[in-house]
Amino acid sequence: MAGSLRSRSRRNIDETVEDVHSGVSPIQALGVDNTSSDIEIYAKEVLHALVADNLPPTPNNFSLYFDRLLEDKSETLRKQIHSMLELEESNDAENTILLEQSLKQGFGSIKSILGVTANLYKNMSLMTKILDKRKRELADNPEIKEAMGVLGSLEGDVSKLNSILKTQSSQMKTIYDDTAKIVKNVENETIFDNKFGVYNRRYLLTKIEKEIGLIKEFNHSSSLIMIQLNRDLKATVKNEKAVVLMTRTIARLLLKTSRRSDIVAHYGNGIFAMLLKHTDVESAKKASERLIELVSNSNFFLADREIELRISIGVTDVDAFHSVEEIVVSAMDGIETAYKDKNRDFAVSLRSSK
């Protein structure tokens, strides 16, 4: 069955959806009457497009086509559908992200408790030293024997309390170390990058690997773009905190311009990636142009200085003939090409088929 599907022709999802029957629109072919709502009509059109493109109407495929085809619809319909989507519950990935954030916040609280306990122990040690000093001062006045007795008793009590606090502080440190190990193990399985508010490298590579498998099965087109804050801009600013803020701005803009089916992730060292499913290189180039325009229109203010944000983008295709590493390296090569060519901000890097 899969072989027969692959042997039939497919269309790029970003093209206008037309009915496979000559001269008949998707809506007419589906027999939808005028009493149906706009959303019902659109949902049936999405299903028709899936069937026409020889893709199984699974929830994931339907969701992907639902987002892609919506771009060509009227603003009224887009707003209507987006408002409905906002009312839906978060998906599993979003729930996982919230869980990761809660876990890290909890670990941060434990770390704060440990810090407070350590300070309390230091203060008790300081109190012991103060008492010892006062005891020596009183020893120079033999007439104050009663005060010496009270001070000696107080010193004993403080010493016991200090010993108890020291033991408890050690226990707290052990609990903290155990918790740190647990959090470290969880971080090795996380999918979210807290610093920039997008997916992390591990999740990205997993999704690319999965997309390669889907391409082998259904023979569709997907693309990967890698994005980096322009290096000349970073060199000009020469302010690490400002560079981090500009990089975070880029991350927010990526999320703003992305679609629900796109995977936006931080690859590392301020380099971001967007996995564009069912999107060929030509469409990925258009997406890059839109992103470059969005970034250039979002100037960054540093004190009384206005800085025009610039990025370098590498574009490559995701295919069934190359590994995840080769695909990522190809996109990174695109960034290098775009950076060296001062007349453009993005470049396409393709590999030869095996």
Per residue, the 3-state secondary structure of 137-203, as one string, reads HHHCCCCCHHHHHHHHHHHHHHHHHHHHHHHHHHHHHHHHHHHHHHHHHHHCCCCEECCCCEECHHH
* 234 part of a folded domain: yes
pLDDT at 103: 75
For residues 122 and 58, membership in a common domain is answered with no
pLDDT at 354: 53
For residues 223 and 314, membership in a common domain is answered with yes
Q: Is the pLDDT of residue 21 over 50?
A: no
Note whether 284 and 276 are within 8 A (CB): yes
For residues 110 and 147, membership in a common domain is answered with yes
d(CA 14, CA 228): 25
Tokens of 62: 């339907």
CATH at residue 210: 3.30.70.270
User: Between helices 59-70 and 75-86, what is the axis angle to 10°?
Assistant: 140
d(CA 12, CA 296): 29
pLDDT at 317: 97
Question: Per the confidence metrics, is the pTM higher than 0.95?
Answer: no
Backbone angles phi, psi at 146, to 5 degrees: -65, -40
- The last residue of a domain, from among 34, 67, 86: 86
* 155 part of a folded domain: yes
Note whether 200 and 267 are within 8 A (CB): no
For residues 62 and 111, membership in a common domain is answered with no
* 43 part of a folded domain: yes
* 283 part of a folded domain: yes
> Which of the two residues, 98 and 199, has the higher pLDDT score?
199
Q: Is the pLDDT of residue 18 over 70?
A: no
For residues 203 and 338, membership in a common domain is answered with yes
Give the distance, in angstroms, between the CA of residue 304 and the centroid of all CA atoms in the same chain. 31
* 353 part of a folded domain: no
d(CA 191, CA 184): 13
CATH at residue 160: 1.10.287
Single-letter residue type at 79: K
d(CA 190, CA 37): 41
Q: Is the pLDDT of residue 11 over 90?
A: no
Rounding to the nearest 10 degrees, give the CA dihedral for residues 68, 70, 75, 79. -100
For residues 201 and 183, membership in a common domain is answered with no
d(CA 209, CA 320): 10
Confidence of residue 218 (pLDDT cuts 50, 70, 90): confident
For residues 235 and 341, membership in a common domain is answered with yes
Q: What percent of the chain has pLDDT over 70?
A: 82
Backbone angles phi, psi at 192, to 5 degrees: -120, 140
d(CA 169, CA 116): 10
Average pLDDT over residues 298-306: 80
Residue (of 157, 283, 291) closest to 226 by Cα position? 291
Range(s) of the domain holding residue 205? 193-348
Residue (of 254, 261, 191, 256) closest to 225 by Cα position? 254
Mean pLDDT score across all residues of the chain: 80
* 354 part of a folded domain: no
Beta strand 300-302 with 346-348 is unpaired
Kindly report which listed range (11-25, 190-204, 231-245) carries the lowest average pLDDT score.
11-25
- The last residue of a domain, from among 71, 86, 101: 86
Q: Is the pLDDT of residue 187 over 60?
A: yes
Tokens of 202: 């591990």
Confidence of residue 315 (pLDDT cuts 50, 70, 90): very high
For residues 101 and 49, membership in a common domain is answered with no
The pLDDT tens digits for 161-182 are: 778 877 877 887 787 788 778 7
The pLDDT tens digits for 240-288 are: 889 999 999 999 999 988 888 899 999 999 999 999 999 999 999 999 9
- Kindly state the DSSP code that residue 223 receives in the 8-state scheme: E
For residues 207 and 129, membership in a common domain is answered with no
Q: Is the pLDDT of residue 348 over 70?
A: yes
> Which of the two residues, 279 and 156, has the higher pLDDT score?
279
Q: Is the pLDDT of residue 5 over 60?
A: no
Note whether 30 and 51 are within 8 A (CB): no
* 329 part of a folded domain: yes
For residues 318 and 288, membership in a common domain is answered with yes
Confidence of residue 148 (pLDDT cuts 50, 70, 90): low
- Buried-exposed string 146-183: b where 16+ CB fall within 10 A, e elsewhere: eeeeebeeebeebeeeeeebeeebeebeeebeeeeeeb
Average pLDDT over residues 224-246: 90
For residues 239 and 276, membership in a common domain is answered with yes
**How many domains does the chain fold into?**
3
d(CA 324, CA 228): 19
d(CA 331, CA 160): 64
- The last residue of a domain, from among 187, 217, 238: 187
Q: Is the pLDDT of residue 102 over 90?
A: no
d(CA 271, CA 108): 27
For residues 183 and 198, membership in a common domain is answered with no
* 266 part of a folded domain: yes
Tokens of 274: 């967007």
